[in-house]
Amino acid sequence: MIEGTDRLAGLVAEGGVVVLSGAGISTESGIPDYRGPSGALVRHTPMTYQAFVGDPAARRRYWARSHVGWRAVARARPNAGHRAVARLQRQGLLSGLVTQNVDGLHQAGGARTVVELHGNLNQVVCLDCGDPTPRAELDRRLRLANPRFDARVTTINPDGDVELPEEEVAGFQTVGCGSCDGGMLKPDVVFFGETVPADRVRECFALVEGARALLVLGSSLTVMSGRRFVLRAAKLGIPVAIVNQGATRGDAYAALTVDGPLGAVLPDLAHLTSAPAAR
């Protein structure tokens, strides 16, 4: 058992815990994180909202690469960490579950009532009329528009983007909204440089403010999008525990940190908290 897991179990077993998860919980499902040991930022510059809406060439490049990458994300399966979080939820120990991930793996692993801070890749939205579309439907339309497009995934990134040679991208045909006859389609996720919807942020703050403890799983907390919830918890005197591989920008505010793979730590945590002595 990894050092600190037993102390973590003592904290979680009292209940009232809000979980904030990041990309590190999905690495063992084959989706790399941005800044951890398999970090994608070393080789990949994520698409920004400004480039997506303002540059047709950037938009075509994104859709060509994401057309391939989404299928790889859709094939990913929840790992032991996702299933352990769902188990903690079933045990009644979690009062909220917020994820920064867009892969839907918490729900696939059995979790309920997940607040997806940055959205979900499985849905597309029209920026002109607001109509949502299942990603599978867009995938069908893109296949019809690009019958000879047969690019292969070499490296997938947390946002569902992949690396493709420029020649593979050049002839890719994008499609517009089917409801308003050609509106601009965008994955229903928050791009870099885009603002998280205010009502979603308020919901997350309310969960944190009502928590007995905040448990951060697999996030470096480098960007303020997630770190602000740690700062709010610390300001209110709510204990913060962090499980991650490597240091995070929230460690100074944490009552407890556990350094280890989530696929090992979380099943042990769920087992310990289910034991009568822990409750």
Q: What domains are there in the chain, each with its CATH number? A: 1-31+78-118+196-279 (3.40.50.1220), 40-75+122-189 (3.30.1600)
Q: Is 245 annotated as a binding residue?
A: yes
Helices and strands in the chain, H and E counts: 10, 9
Q: Identity (one letter) of the amino acid at 240?
A: V
The token pair at 279 is 């409750």
Q: Is 262 annotated as a binding residue?
A: yes
**pLDDT tens for each residue of 53-92:** 999 999 998 998 888 888 878 889 999 999 999 999 999 9
Q: Is 204 annotated as a binding residue?
A: no
Burial (0-12, 13-18, 19+ Cβ within 10 Å), 46? middle
- Say which residue the tokens 């995934």 belong to: 153
Q: Is 42 annotated as a binding residue?
A: no
- Torsion sign over Cα 203, 224, 108, 191: positive
pTM: 0.89
**Residues linked to residue 241 through DSSP beta bridges, in sequence order:** 215, 256
Q: Is 101 annotated as a binding residue?
A: yes
Q: Which residues contact 136 (CB under 8 A, 6 or more apart)?
A: 122
Pairing mode of beta strands 185-189, 119-126 = antiparallel
**Residue 229 vs residues 21, 60, 119, 150: alpha-carbon distances, Å:** 12, 35, 17, 42
Cα–Cα distance for residue pair 248/82, rounded to 1 Å: 20
Task: Note whether 142 and 175 are within 8 A (CB).
Answer: yes
Q: Is 177 annotated as a binding residue?
A: yes
Q: Is 112 left (phi over 0), alpha (psi -120 to 50) or beta?
A: beta
Q: Is 89 annotated as a binding residue?
A: no
- Say which residue the tokens 């591989």 belong to: 245
Catalytic residue among 44, 67, 106, 118, which? 118
Q: Is 126 annotated as a binding residue?
A: yes
- Say which residue the tokens 């289910």 belong to: 274
- Examine the residue annotation and report whether 67 is marked as an active-site residue of this protein: no
Task: Note whether 211 and 16 are within 8 A (CB).
Answer: yes
Q: Is 100 annotated as a binding residue?
A: yes
Task: Note whether 222 and 39 are within 8 A (CB).
Answer: no
Please give the chain's pLDDT, 279 residues, in tens.
Answer: 899 999 999 999 999 999 999 999 999 998 877 544 444 444 457 789 999 999 999 999 899 888 888 887 888 999 999 999 999 999 999 999 999 999 999 999 999 999 999 999 999 999 999 999 999 999 999 999 999 887 766 666 666 667 676 777 888 999 999 999 889 999 999 998 899 999 999 999 999 999 999 999 999 999 999 999 999 999 999 999 999 999 999 999 999 999 999 999 999 999 999 965 555
